[in-house]
Each structure stands twice: as C-alpha cells, then as structure tokens.
Amino acid sequence: MVEPLQIASPGPGLHEITDKVGAVVRQAGVLEGVCTVFVRHTSASLTIQENADPSARHDLERWLERLVPRDDPHFTHVHEGLDDMPSHIKAALTSVSLSIPVMEGRLVLGTWQGIYLWEHRDAPKMREVVVHVGP
C-alpha cells in the first residue's frame, strides 16, 4: 500500500507525523513488514527524535541552525532567499527516507521515538510525504 500524505508546514521546525504514518500502517493491515516514509522535497527532511521533552527538539534545531548559518558568504545559490541553501544542506545531513519495521501490525518505534517532518524553509508550505507499507 502506498499513501501520499499532505502535511501543512507552518514554518521551520520539527512537525510530528507519527499518528498520520501509524494510521496508514493500520489501514494497510500488514502484520509483519516494513513501513517506508519518504519526503518529496530537498529543503525539508525526516527525522526520528525524542517525542517527550520539547526542549530536546528545540536544542536540536538551534544547534543545526548554528552549524549551517544562512548568511554564509560562500553561498552562490541565493536567488530563492537566504534560507534556501541552508535548507538543502540541512536536508542532506538528515534523512530523505526512513524504514521502520512493522510487528504485530504496529510500527516498532521505541517508547520515546516520534517521526517528524523537519521543515527548513521559512515560509508556510504544503509538503508531501509518501508512506509505503509492504511485507
């Protein structure tokens, strides 16, 4: 089963999509298999991070912001705005796809793991994430 999901991204940051992905897995009815999550963009990415304490995600975002500052004088790809090139770099350093085993009809996520769309652009956007569940 393949299901494209539309995710409204209000702006930069980690937006949790665990429930949306889990709903596709339930709908697929696969008891044992793999769930593949794929983002169809190069300026947003995917990550699995702690879903309990929001301070962990806050620090993670701030740290990556500092590692890839937007006013880098070496950037030449700047015609789409100063937040564009850092977005591509942040996407390359994180994940475009995740593969999560399914056991007894459920994602085998750990207790503290949540699935996140990581938006790197400033403007609100509609993002597409494709979820596949197979044997």
Q: Report the site for its own copies in 5-24 (rule: CB under 8 A).
A: none
The distance of closest approach from Cβ of residue 94 to its own copies in the complex, given in angstroms and rounded to an integer, is 6
The distance of closest approach from Cβ of residue 41 to its own copies in the complex, given in angstroms and rounded to an integer, is 6
The distance of closest approach from Cβ of residue 85 to its own copies in the complex, given in angstroms and rounded to an integer, is 5
Residue choice 11, 58, 81, 82 for contact with its own copies (CB under 8 A): 58
Residue 56 interacting with its own copies (CB under 8 A): yes
The distance of closest approach from Cβ of residue 62 to its own copies in the complex, given in angstroms and rounded to an integer, is 6
Helices and strands, number each (H, E), in the chain: 3, 8
Residue 128 interacting with its own copies (CB under 8 A): yes
Number of Cβ within a 10 Å radius of residue 43: 20
CA 64 to chain centre: 15
Residue 97 interacting with its own copies (CB under 8 A): yes
Q: List, as one string, the DSSP characters of 1-55.
A: -EEEEEEEE-SSEEEE-HHHHHHHHHHHT-SSEEEEEEE--SSEEEEEEESS-HH
Residue 48 interacting with its own copies (CB under 8 A): yes
**Pseudo-torsion of CA 10, 16, 18, 24, nearest 10°?**
10
Contact 106, 27 (CB under 8 A): no
Contact 116, 2 (CB under 8 A): no
Binding-site ranges for its own copies (CB under 8 A)? 1-2, 4, 32-34, 36, 38, 40-42, 47-50, 53, 55-56, 58-60, 62-64, 66-68, 72, 74-77, 85, 88-89, 91-103, 108-110, 112-113, 128, 130-132, 134-135
